[in-house]
Amino acid sequence: MDVKSSQVTGNAALHYAAWHLSRRGWNVMLTARNSKGSDLYCANDAETVFFGVQSKGLTKRDPVGLGGNLDNLRSDWWIITIKAKTDAPVCYIMTLAEVKALCHRSDPAKSSNGKVSMWLQPTAYDRPEFKEAWHRFSGTPATWKCAYEALEAKAY
């Protein structure tokens, strides 16, 4: 088995994130890998709160590709896991609004295919407010909405 494959890295990160969310009381369902949309769907016990999670697994502190159009990003929450296949993975917990606000737009003139691509640089996600910030999944969607509104008012 090739333990160096990116698919294994992604699976390790996905299951690690699901484990953390489950330990915090969320019912977590994994979706089919490499499908559009969220990688995880979470619900509370009463099934009154639902949210999607995009999981990104990396072997080291690298940029995270976001594609060419930010409008295609859907998940409410993003969990970026570095060192995903080690005994000490590190997770960064971000909202979709934070991912969009902090992304880097490549220069199409400098790309190999001449197209724009969006990236989340390590300096954008590797911040104290995101590192192992599992506490962000406590509270209610109303508090999450306040966080989104505060972010939109804040300039990075």
Summarize pLDDT for 1-39 with one digit per residue, the tens.
455 688 899 999 999 999 999 999 999 999 986 678 899
Q: Supply 102's token pair.
A: 């902090």
Distance from C-alpha of 17 to C-alpha of 114, rounded to nearest angstrom: 35
pLDDT in the model for residue 16:
97
Contact 117, 67 (CB under 8 A): yes
Cα–Cα separations (whole angstroms), residue 30 to 21, 61, 84: 12, 24, 17
Strand partners, 33: none
For the chain, list the domains and their CATH numbers: 6-153 (3.40.1350.10)
The pTM for the full model equals 0.85
pLDDT digits (tens, 9 = 90+) for 119-152: 999 999 999 999 999 999 986 665 555 454 555 5
Question: How high is the pLDDT of residue 107?
Answer: 78
